[in-house]
Chains A and B, each alone.
Chain A
Amino acid sequence: MAREFAVPAFVYWLGAPFLLARLAAQRRSGVFKSLERSILDSLIQSSHEPLASALQSQISEINHALRLTTKSSEVNFYKIVGIRPDASRKQPLPVDDGDTVVGEVVGKVDQTIVRAKIFAVNSRLFSIEFNCDARPIINRADLEISTVDVLGKRVFGA
């Protein structure tokens, strides 16, 4: 191991207690924020079977979310067992393996147009990527949905 790497690796382990505390707090307060829940619900309602039931099943298994905002926001969902992510799901999504866009939801909160893409990785629901900084509106449940695309096809809205 290179000498310059030894110091940062040591610093990394200092973060472990903070990460475990954050995980415990999140499990108590619930994984999904209101906006995320609205987007996923609209996707489920617009989906056909067996995709809708598979989404519902996987959402119930998710117990951790990682939220990142740089220029835009991204929310990644995980099923954590112990302290490690678990790849097993009761019901895999009926989509291709690899990186897949399950759906796209476009809506409006106040004057902000929200475009959210929902991604799956290896038939597992994985992330929502927003076109904007979602932090100011993440707790808003009043998303006015204008269009919903599922697996590349428009199923709701003009």
Chain B
Amino acid sequence: MQTLGNYAKHEDQTEATIIRSESNWSVKHHEGTPPDGGAVGVLGKGRKGWEYSHAIPVRLLKRVNVNSWFGRTAVNGTYVPRWFHALSDQYRFRFMPRIWKESLPFLLPQGIQQAARVPPAWIVAGAGATLDSTGGRSNGP
């Protein structure tokens, strides 16, 4: 287990810490703060037939040498069913059994493949930021 640093201070001055363990990220909340967001992206881990799908592929991450610490995080993907991974990533589709591929005549267009691999963490972060800014305006002076 590796502590990567404190990332937030709550209103009651309690801190949360990002912790990396076995290539997963989690958030440890001190002083009884409620857990939020730390489990996003690992909900499917360990389930039969589910596997990790990268948003930014490993071959690109290796070029800039960040794959070891960024490759399999909740920020760069999520766990999805194997069939969905194959549909949305032709690099995965190539390694499916031919008998399986014979029943699947189409893959998504490239742009939509990439959109389908957007990690839930990005969506949650975007929604959170939007709600936060909207709430700020409605409660403004």
Per DSSP, chain A at the interface is: mixed
* Most-contacted residue by chain B among A11, A99, A127 (CB, 10 A): A11
Cβ B90 vs Cβ A68 within 8 A: yes
Q: Which residues of A contact B118 (CB under 8 A)?
A: 7-8, 11
User: A124 near B112 (CB under 8 angstroms)?
Assistant: no
Residues of the B chain whose Cβ atoms lie less than 8 Å from the Cβ of A4: 40-41, 43-44, 78-80, 120
Please, how many residues of chain B have a CB less than 8 angstroms from a CB on the other chain? 34
Nearest CB in chain A to that of B108: its residue? A15
B128 sits at the interface (CB 8 A): no
Q: Which chain A positions have C-beta within 8 A of B116?
A: 8, 11-12
CB distance from A64 to the nearest CB of B (A): 6
Chain A, residue nearest B119 (CB)? A4
Given the known inter-chain contacts A4-B40, A68-B93, A80-B105, please indicate yes or no for A126 contacting B98, CB distance below 8 A: yes
> Closest approach, in angstroms, between the C-beta of A11 and any C-beta of chain B?
5
Are A18 and B112 interface neighbours, CB within 8 A? yes
Verify if A2 is at the interface (C-beta below 8 Å from B): yes
Bound Cα distance from A14 to B108, whole angstroms: 9
Give the contacts of A1-30 with B (CB-CB under 8 A).
2-5, 7-9, 11-12, 14-15, 18-19, 22-23
Cβ contacts under 8 Å, B87 to chain A: 12
Residue B81 lies at the interface, judged by CB distance under 8 Å to chain A: yes
Closest to A11 in B: B116
Task: State the CA gap A3–B44 with chains docked (Å).
Answer: 10
* Cα-based distance from A22 to B106 in the complex (angstroms): 10
Give Cα distance in the complex from A3 to B43, angstroms: 9
Report the separation of the CA atoms of residues A70 and B86 in the bound assembly, to the nearest whole angstrom.
Answer: 13
CB distance from B1 to the nearest CB of A (A): 24
The reply to whether B102 and A85 contact each other, CB–CB distance below 8 Å, is yes
Whether B106 contacts A66 by the Cβ 8 Å rule is yes
Instruction: List CB contacts (< 8 Å) of B18-71 with chain A.
Output: 40-41, 43-44
A17 to chain B, nearest CB (A): 10
* A132 sits at the interface (CB 8 A): no
Complex: A122 Cα to B117 Cα, angstroms: 32
B98 neighbours in A (Cβ, 8 Å): 99, 119, 121, 126-127
Q: Which of B78, B99, B105, B109 has the most CB of A within 10 A?
A: B105
On whether A14 and B101 interact (CB within 8 A), knowing A9-B84, A70-B90, the answer reads: no
CB-CB under 8 A from A66, the residues of chain B are 105-107
- CB-CB < 8 A to B40: which residues of A? 4
Residues of B within 8 A of A (CB): 40-41, 43-44, 78-81, 84, 87-88, 90-91, 93-94, 97-99, 101-109, 112, 115-118, 120, 123
A interface residues (Cβ-Cβ under 8 A, vs B): 2-5, 7-9, 11-12, 14-15, 18-19, 22-23, 64, 66, 68, 70, 74, 76, 78, 80, 85, 87, 98-99, 119, 121-122, 124, 126-127
